[in-house]
Amino acid sequence: MSAIVARNRFAASFQAGWVRQRTTCSLSTCSTRSVRLTTNRGGSVLPPLPRPSLVVGRPCDYGAGAAGMIGGTRRFSADAGGSGNKDAGASAAPKKPPAKRPKKVTVLSLVHKKRRGQKITMVTAYDYPSALHVDRAGIDVLLVGDSCAMVELGFETTQPMTLDQMVHHCQAVKRGAPSRPLLVGDLPLGTYEYDDLDVALRNSYRMVKDGGMDAVKMEGGSIARAKTVKKVVEGGVAVMGHIGLTPQAISVIGGFRAQGRTAARARQLLDEALRLQDAGAFCIVLECVPSNVAEAITDTLEVPTIGIGAGGGTSGQVLVYHDMLGMLSHPHHEQFMPKFCKQYADVGHAITRGLEDYRRDVESGTFPGEAYAPYVMTKDEKDLFDSLLAKDAEERQRRHDEAAEKMKQADEYEQLSLYGDNGKTS
């Protein structure tokens, strides 16, 4: 008798909990099928109970009372014989949560990194494919530098780079790294040095609006440059400073020379860094300065510093994509490879080997071969095509001979060297 009473109480509690929570019970988690329990001695039938789902690891929505009695998310069966549900395998597996979108790096992110003692990574790149690789590697800052003039356009210095060219490369980089890294674009020589500070602000707006950059970079730390930085920052554009070796000013400093190697010049660099910080620069690049000078500047500033040839005491480091990966392997480039650049790959020599192998395969007829000529006609179509060619074979041969004769005459004309060959005529 006591067993029957206990069973009735279980059923009543189970049913009451299910009634209270029935509006939350979804078809995806609960079955609408029911099972009938045995009758008591009086002949009355206990209320039917819904069969719970056998999805492993998913909570049951029958209500607190029922869930507490049947074990919540534990796998179980309500069959009278206690056997498991054979349809359990048909239940859908729990969906994986969507991948989190990488958090955007901002100017504040860099400041926080410095305060926490975490190093900042920055790479200079100029186009869509390199931006893709930089983004996937998790680099914090991607700088579109005016060094593009030397690395990609073949100039001897950065000075010939124009604003239009910079915007073009900035747009390509933005498409390659659209959301995660902080994008900074160099303002090239002649776009921000004027007494009319609106020129610098107007060109900065273009780098942001047309080029897709998050910030711009300016070289120099003079009083005049600080005024320009302040004007642009107050106009709503973040500015990265750059002192030490400033490539745009090589006409003044006498070439690509290290800076700050005298006590007086080192102190001047510190003053320039403080001046840029006070003007609102969120970060300052220190290029080709002694490591102790760079460390002193970094310790003095609240904003982070990015070193290039400035030792390990800065808040972060920057290298050019092509330099660090050994993209260029010709003697001219190797002769001018910066001393501070560590080469992490030998891509340039691998590229050269690949191109040479391709040339040899084409010249020898090895490429493409049957393996790389996958598109074929059926036999019927091939026979039909051959018959079409046979219909005008004579006409095509005539036109071929005429074209060959014209080419022969043109070739003989060139061989006569009517306009001279290195000052000589034949």
Check: CB of residue 218 under 8 Å from CB of residue 239.
Answer: yes
Check: CB of residue 4 under 8 Å from CB of residue 40.
Answer: yes
The answer, yes or no, to whether residue 317 has pLDDT greater than 70, is yes
Q: What is the mean pLDDT of residues 274-289?
A: 97
- Find, among 300, 349, 345, the residue nearest to 321 by Cα: 345
Q: Kindly indicate the confidence band of residue 212, based on its pLDDT and cuts at 50, 70 and 90.
A: very high
The pLDDT value given to residue 127: 97
Q: Show which residues are catalytic.
A: 287
Vertex 118 angle, CA 112 and 124, to 5°:
90
The answer, yes or no, to whether residue 138 has pLDDT greater than 80, is yes
Please tell me the pTM assigned to this model. 0.68
Q: b/e string for 326-353 if b means 16 or more Cβ within 10 A?
A: bbbeeeebeeeeeebeeeeeebbeeeee
- Cα separation of 378 and 139, whole Å? 52
* Per-chain mean pLDDT for the chain: 80
Rounded to a whole number of angstroms, the distance between the first and last alpha carbons of the chain is 127
Half-sphere exposure at residue 29, Cβ-oriented, CA atoms within 13 angstroms = 16
Q: Kindly indicate the confidence band of residue 57, based on its pLDDT and cuts at 50, 70 and 90.
A: very low
The answer, yes or no, to whether residue 411 has pLDDT greater than 80, is no
* Other beta carbons less than 10 A from residue 61's beta carbon: 18
Q: pLDDT tens digits for 85-127?
A: 545 445 566 777 776 778 999 999 999 999 999 999 999 999 9
The answer, yes or no, to whether residue 26 has pLDDT greater than 60, is no
Check: CB of residue 207 under 8 Å from CB of residue 236.
Answer: no
The pLDDT value given to residue 74: 42
Bridge partners of 120, per DSSP, are 316
- Cα separation of 127 and 118, whole Å? 28
Tell me phi and psi for residue 324, to 5 degrees.
-70, -25
- Cα separation of 243 and 299, whole Å? 16
